Amino acid sequence: MTKHRFGLRKGVALGVALALAAGGAMAGEKEELIKLRSTTTNLIQALVEQGILTKAKADELIRKAEQAADAEAAQAKASAMPADKHVVRVPYVPEFVKDQIREQVRAELRQDVVKDVLAQAKHERWGVPGSTPEWVDRITWEGDIRLRAQDDMFASGNAAYYNVQKINEAGGIGAAGNDAYLNTTVNRARYRARVRLGMRARITDGVEAGVRLATGNLKEPVSTNQTLGNSGNAFQVVLDRAYLRYDTTKSKFMTLWGGRMPNPFFHTDLVWDSDLNFDGIAATVRPLDWSEGGSNAAIQPFVTMGAFPLQEVQLSSHDKWLLGAQGGFNWTFDNADRLKMGVAYYDFRNTTGRRNTFGSTLLDYMAPGFVQKGNTVFDIRNDADPNTNLYALASDFHELNLTASYEVATWAPNYVVLTADYVKNLGFDRQAVFQRTGTLVDARTQGYQLKLTVGRQKLKKAGQWQIFGAYKYLQRDAVMDAYTDSDFHLGGTDAKGWLLGGSYALRKNTWVTARYLTADAIDGPKLGIDTLQLDLNAKF
């Protein structure tokens, strides 16, 4: 802007000089020069008001112009004095010269003013065509829609299973009625939809706010599906995420989360369902890459820690919490293959039940807010009525989890990815469970999963594809059944079986997925469930 203002001031000075020289001009040009002088003075005043010139600079400009005009007028007067008193000399400026001077002054003024105004308008986001308010550039919208056709097929001879969640909600087996039992015998076909709309806003350098709306409900943290066929009623929409995130701005050495956030841990769906979000605070620290000189190989270690409240209890100081910590690394090899490993420990606090004293309901809060099926549970009600029941977890859960993923980049952009996951519940104590339940329960506390994926990691363009297959084995008390995969064996633990599927992109950011899941109970009564899912996905 300094260069523009210099040109502007030069043009203004010329105009001022011409205007102030009006007193020495010919009478025929006096009116024209008075107009020019008035216009120039008003222009200088406007530039002062707009902040382009300071008042001091404007006064100095006028003063210098007046001095120059006085000098030119004196020189013109001297040159106009006739050497011979009988000779009268009349200075004459051709009309085309005057026109050129006027046009030059106008052009220079117009060009410099326009440049300065446009620069200021761009900086201050004035209503210039094509510009938008500054805050718009700091907001990013994202979302996806999934339409699903799902068939659940049950093996003949399946046993009856309690629906613990419905029993707890109703206050007992008697009050739950038919809902006290899971459907384990009647095949079911459902059409389901999932819609998610998220916004990420950059508050300032390194600080981001995230908000996401999704279909779903307030009772199932592991599902955002909406089953169609609800008597024409509208979908229920919930606030799925609401967080603040801070990243150190230079090297992303550390990331801090607070609020309702996506899962901050490296994981598979063996322990955590893919739809699950976490409430609380979390931090990930990433020391600098350990790179090998002269190659693309690098190792980046990371440590993630978090504290997540599960349930705030009004009548107790023992609120339910999840404390988690994970350490691991990303290792990129010279040939672009990548190995990622993590070792995590998830410590659930105050989630194990205790039986009420006779006739009391003081310890009812120890019942979990949400369960699927599989974990060892016991009735904590103590009122001599077999139809009033409230089930709580019999075991502590302190889960040791090892997760690894190896990506083969030989055929990039198509990848071969092998994922392995293992978990063991170190919190199971057979004697403590016996004291709570009155029953000797074997320790069934381990789980693992192996998965192979071939193709594109993300489907963005038409014709891209991916196929996958996995085997999963998850014992009864290996993990808390509330938070594991809600599709395999229709949710919960005590299940083993296979998953096969593939995806194909029909258009940009639009793809179809087919999955077939077949699973059986490991130790419990017979329960075989096959599930077929056909999805149409769109991402925007």
Q: Provide the number of structural domains found in the chain.
A: 3
Question: Residues 6 or more apart from 248 whose CB is under 8 A from it?
Answer: 206, 254, 255
Is the sign of the CA dihedral 252, 258, 260, 265 positive or negative?
Answer: positive
**Same domain membership, residue 313 and residue 255:** no
**Same domain membership, residue 424 and residue 540:** yes
According to the model, what pLDDT value does residue 166 have?
A: 97
Three-state SS annotation for 75-140? HHHHHHCCCCCCCCCCCCCCHHHHHHHHHHHHHHHHHHHHHHHHHHHHHHCCCCCCCCCHHHHHEE
Measure the CA angle with vertex 398, ends 393 and 401; round to 5°: 125
* Residue at 14 is within a domain: yes
* Residue at 179 is within a domain: no
**Same domain membership, residue 101 and residue 50:** yes
**Same domain membership, residue 203 and residue 89:** no
Of 124, 144, 169, the position where a domain reaches its end is: 124
**Same domain membership, residue 388 and residue 505:** yes
**Same domain membership, residue 380 and residue 245:** no
According to the model, what pLDDT value does residue 24 have?
A: 43
* Residue at 115 is within a domain: yes
Domain region containing 80? 2-124
According to the model, what pLDDT value does residue 22 have?
A: 45
**Same domain membership, residue 301 and residue 226:** no
* Residue at 321 is within a domain: yes
**Same domain membership, residue 324 and residue 233:** no
* Residue at 106 is within a domain: yes
According to the model, what pLDDT value does residue 71 have?
A: 72
* Residue at 343 is within a domain: yes
According to the model, what pLDDT value does residue 95 have?
A: 64
* Residue at 111 is within a domain: yes
Place of tokens 């390194």: 206
Three-state SS annotation for 179-190? HHECCCCCCEEE
According to the model, what pLDDT value does residue 4 have?
A: 45
- Residue 105 has phi, psi (to 5 degrees) of -60, -45
**Same domain membership, residue 305 and residue 252:** no
Mean pLDDT by 10 residues, the chain (540 residues): 45 48 48 65 70 70 73 64 52 60 67 67 58 81 98 97 97 94 97 97 95 94 94 94 92 92 98 97 88 73 97 85 97 95 98 94 94 97 91 98 97 97 98 95 97 97 98 98 98 98 98 98 97 98
**Same domain membership, residue 409 and residue 337:** yes
**Same domain membership, residue 300 and residue 239:** no
Helices (H), 179-313: none
The pTM assigned to this predicted structure is: 0.76
**Same domain membership, residue 345 and residue 214:** no
Of 262, 281, 309, the position where a domain reaches its end is: 262
* Residue at 178 is within a domain: no
DSSP letter at 121 equals H
